[in-house]
């Protein structure tokens, strides 16, 4: 029978985190230096397989039994650490794939360098999601090192989150019987609310939209047909302007009618977040972003509680970049009227907006504007509502407050994580806790992505205290 430290010595915990932190940085650097990009890449590409090999090695070195599952998309890695058969199982989830890093101006020429400077570690994947993943792993390792009690752990790393987790649900259905049925699932792939720890209770889904409008058979000379022929660009702009407002908020009533009602407790939680929301910091963290309004309640409601649309690009505008040197750019354009226009975008869904049903409403709307519209959907990810009240959320709340010295807030998140809905459906009755470890200023998906080292240390302590709290009262 194992003998554990029953009362967590927090001074010893902090000291041990400090002692292990050089190793934490080294492991994180090795992960960051593998450019495990999933968007616009072949499944099971060399870098994805390399990151799987590396995390398998790291998990094994920390005492985990590891199994890699091949899927029709990218692999899933599962590590298990059974500490005591009488104790509960907790599942921890992170992803090891990353976004591309070609665009924007970067501090370092190598965008996957893992350079340490200015109190941060730099490079794509440092905060999304390799840094937080290593915080979870080192939280476990620290508890083991000091002889503290901790639950049985099941870690799941996927490598397709950045493309909507295609295949994850099918993998779970096929191999879920091999997994431990957890008492709870912890996901750390979200961000603080400014400087305040955040527990995300609601997560938006996503629906990729390919919106196409073709009119005449070929392009037209604008000198002959401008003011005479119906132009695809004009019709597209008209349709989009009534589909959503300038902020992206959906205006189509048949889509809004699908939403689940927003509860009073959600509005109360939103009001609490509004009190601590720093708009100037928010703008700075986003790279001097221009906000749609200075009304905090509107910002929070539209970010987390309402469906929104984003246009990511369009084809058929007959213009292109022909010269670029430094920041000087010149564009060419054709004076023809294109016969076809195509917009690629995404609709962020809220609970009640099931992706396929929402796609039907989107098609109905655009065809009502012009019968030639053709709409295709992709990357269907369901929105989720995780709720506020469960014993594991309470323990996360307490651990956050103890380590970060600030009262956590409950937030509705505008982002999307494709694995959450399958987890929720497969492991019914297992509460999911979404505990943020990253900051907005870290630069999710942006140039100069980084992860603060002091913040990482606290993240390790938080995870250790949270996991210990789950079993500290068990015999």
What would the two tokens of residue 67 be?
């199994």
Q: Quick: pLDDT tens for 138-188.
A: 999 999 999 999 999 999 999 999 999 999 999 999 999 999 999 999 999
Is the per-residue pLDDT at 332 higher than 80?
no
Residue that has been written with the tokens 């700075």 in this structure: 284
Cα 59 from chain centroid (whole Å): 23
Q: Quick: pLDDT tens for 89-98.
A: 999 999 999 9
Summary mean pLDDT of the chain: 93
What is the pLDDT, as a whole number, of residue 475? 58
Residue 392 CA to residue 395 CA, distance in Å, equals: 5
Strands 432-435 and 198-203: antiparallel
pTM comes to 0.92
Q: Categorize the per-residue pLDDT at 331 as very low, low, confident or very high, splitting at 50, 70 and 90.
A: low
Candidates 302, 29, 42, 64; CA nearest to 163 is: 42
Q: Categorize the per-residue pLDDT at 469 as very low, low, confident or very high, splitting at 50, 70 and 90.
A: very high
Q: Quick: pLDDT tens for 251-273.
A: 999 999 999 999 999 999 999 99
Candidates 76, 65, 92; CA nearest to 153 is: 92
Q: Quick: pLDDT tens for 340-371.
A: 999 999 999 999 999 999 999 999 999 999 99
Report the range out of 336-340, 362-366, 440-444 with the highest average pLDDT.
362-366
Strands 336-337 and 340-349: unpaired
What is the pLDDT, as a whole number, of residue 336? 85
Is the per-residue pLDDT at 384 higher than 70?
yes
- State percent of the chain over pLDDT 90: 86
What is the pLDDT, as a whole number, of residue 463? 98
Is the per-residue pLDDT at 429 higher than 70?
yes
Q: Categorize the per-residue pLDDT at 379 as very low, low, confident or very high, splitting at 50, 70 and 90.
A: confident
The average pLDDT across 11-18 equals 97
Is the per-residue pLDDT at 329 higher than 70?
no
Strands 409-413 and 198-203: parallel
């Amino acid at each position: 029978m194992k003998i554990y430290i029953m009362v967590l010595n927090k001074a010893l915990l902090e000291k041990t985190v400090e002692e292990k932190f050089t190793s934490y940085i080294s492991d994180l650097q090795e992960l960051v230096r593998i450019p495990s990009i999933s968007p616009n890449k072949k499944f099971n590409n060399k870098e994805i397989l390399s990151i799987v090999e590396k995390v398998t090695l790291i998990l094994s070195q920390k005492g985990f039994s590891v199994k890699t599952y091949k899927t029709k998309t990218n692999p899933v890695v599962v590590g298990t650490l059974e500490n005591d058969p009488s104790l509960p199982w907790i599942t921890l989830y992170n992803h090891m794939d990353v976004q591309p890093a070609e665009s924007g101006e970067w501090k370092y020429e190598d965008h996957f360098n893992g350079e340490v400077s200015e109190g941060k570690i730099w490079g794509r994947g440092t905060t999304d999601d390799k840094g937080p993943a290593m915080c979870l792993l080192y939280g476990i390792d620290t508890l083991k090192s000091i002889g503290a009690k901790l639950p049985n752990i099941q870690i799941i790393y996927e490598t397709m989150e950045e493309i909507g987790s295609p295949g994850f649900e099918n993998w779970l259905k096929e191999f879920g019987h091999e997994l431990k049925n957890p008492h709870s699932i912890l996901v750390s792939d979200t961000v603080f609310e400014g400087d305040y720890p955040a527990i995300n209770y609601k997560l938006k889904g996503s629906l990729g939209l390919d919106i196409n409008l073709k009119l005449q058979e070929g392009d037209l000379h604008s000198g002959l047909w401008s003011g005479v022929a119906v132009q695809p660009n004009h019709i597209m702009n008209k349709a989009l302007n009534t589909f959503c407002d300038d902020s992206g908020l959906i205006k189509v009533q048949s889509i809004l009618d699908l939403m689940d009602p927003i509860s009073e407790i959600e509005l109360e939680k939103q009001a609490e977040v509004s009190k601590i929301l720093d708009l100037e910091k928010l703008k700075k963290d986003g790279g001097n972003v221009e906000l749609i309004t200075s009304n905090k309640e509107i910002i929070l409601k539209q970010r987390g509680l309402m469906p929104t649309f984003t246009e990511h690009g369009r084809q058929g505008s007959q213009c292109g970049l022909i010269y670029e040197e430094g920041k000087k750019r010149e564009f060419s354009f054709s004076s023809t009227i294109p016969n076809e226009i195509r917009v690629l975008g995404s609709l962020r869904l809220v609970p009640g907006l099931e992706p396929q049903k929402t796609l039907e409403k989107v098609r109905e709307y655009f065809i009502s504007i012009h019968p030639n519209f053709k709409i295709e959907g992709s990357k269907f990810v369901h929105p989720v509502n995780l709720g506020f009240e469960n014993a594991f959320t309470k323990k996360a709340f307490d651990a956050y407050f103890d380590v970060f010295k600030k009262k956590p807030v409950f937030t509705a998140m505008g982002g999307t994580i494709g694995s959450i809905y399958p987890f929720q459906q497969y492991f019914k009755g297992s509460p999911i806790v979404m505990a943020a470890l990253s900051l907005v200023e870290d630069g999710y998906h942006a140039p100069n992505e980084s992860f603060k080292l002091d913040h990482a240390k606290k993240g390790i302590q938080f995870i250790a205290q949270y996991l210990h709290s789950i079993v500290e009262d068990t015999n």
